[in-house]
Structure formats: structure tokens, C-alpha cells
Amino acid sequence: MTLRVLGIDPGLTRCGVGVVDVLPGRQATMVEYGVIRTDAHAPLEQRLLMIAQGIAEAIERTSPTAMAVERVFAQHNVRTVMGTAQASGLALHAAAANGIPVGLHTPSEVKAAVTGYGRADKLQVQTMVARILGLDELPKPADAADALALAICHAWRPAVSTAATPVGAPPQGSGALTPAQRAWAAAERGGAPREAAVRARAARSPRLEA
């Protein structure tokens, strides 16, 4: 059974949105990605309304079976974290309103799941996301790539865990390779499905921009 995950990288100016389909064997394919942008000079309530509408449209358009949202954590810039928290709340509300299960993941957790390294930079995340999904170009902007990474991280999490295992640690009996490393190796061998063109710009609402 295919799991369709909607990843949300919350932000007030740019809210990343990414949708992936993942098969039981952890083979992932991209459905769409982009960002919901708002004008920094617009009233806060209008900006939040645009984000809420963009998320609602993404749900209606793609019918996800799960949602992954970046867990908000404390930052030195209080204004930035407040905007992130507000956008995150909108995503959680939309998920609850549509009966969609939600997973919250920290940035380091997502980086470790996708790249095998919890301190990977933006380019490393974009590169691995492109390899995992078999894309012909790096997903941009970084907010959209992060949303795809969130979706992949959520889909790759163990369905049932009998013991606490550090994020990014090699699964038992896997030949000491993480899911990200196995996906990378498959992509290098040409095993990952390739797309003739990135489908992110197809079936996209006006609110969702690449």
C-alpha cells in the first residue's frame, strides 16, 4: 500500500510544501512541491489566511494519508519563531480538520533520516532529496526541499519500534546502511526511478510556487 505524505516546512514568508508517495519497500516518488509565499508587508491575519488556504488546497489536491510538520524549537529570533509557530499551528489545524495523522520532526531528525547526518547543510539535504526521489534537478527553494525531506523522514520511520534507536542509526540486519544510504546507492546504480522532467510545476495551485 502506498503511503502519501504531505510535508510542511512552516514559515510565515515562505511555507514549504512537499508531497511524496512511498511504497512499503521505502521507494519514494515525488508528487509535487513548492512554497506558499506571503507579502511581508501584508497584515498578519491576511498572511495567515493565505497560508491556511494554500495548505487546504494542497490537501484537497493531493489527498495525503499522513502529514509531517517540522517541530518548532526555540530560536534567538523570537519574531521568526513566532511566525514559524503560527504557520505550524495552521498545518496542525488543517490535519485535524481533515482527519490526517500528523508527525512532528525536528530539523536534525529529518537531516539524519535523509542524509545520515544530523548537521547536514541545505545543499546536502537538497541533493539527497533529489537522489531519493529520482529528480533531474535539485528541488528549490530550500523550504520546498525541506518539506519533501520531512515527508520522506516521516514515511521512513519504523511503523513499530521495540527499542529506542538513535535517529539515523543503521537498522538491524541492514548491512550497516541507513535508509538514506541505501537510497543513495540505489540512485547511483540507476535503481531509483527517473523522471523525464520534474513534476513539481504540474497540477499546482496559484498559491503554490516553486
For residue 159, the model assigns a pLDDT of 54
Distances in whole angstroms, Cα of residue 20 to Cα of each of 6, 27, 148: 7, 10, 7
Q: Residues at the annotated binding site for Mg(2+)?
A: 9, 70, 143
- The residues spanned by each domain of the chain are 3-209
Q: In which residue are the cell numbers 547511483 written?
A: 188
Cβ contact 209:39 at 8 Å: no
**Residue 107 pLDDT > 80, yes or no?**
yes
Read off the pTM.
0.79
Residue 164 in this model has a pLDDT that exceeds 50: no
Statement: residue 138 has pLDDT above 90: yes
For 171-208, the pLDDT digits (tens) are 333 344 455 555 545 544 554 433 333 344 444 444 57
pLDDT digits (tens, 9 = 90+) for 63-78: 999 999 999 876 667 7
pLDDT score of 123 more than 60: yes
Given CATH 3.30.420.10, say whether it is the number of domain 3-209: yes
Residues labelled catalytic: 9, 70, 143
SS3 of residue 90 by DSSP? helix
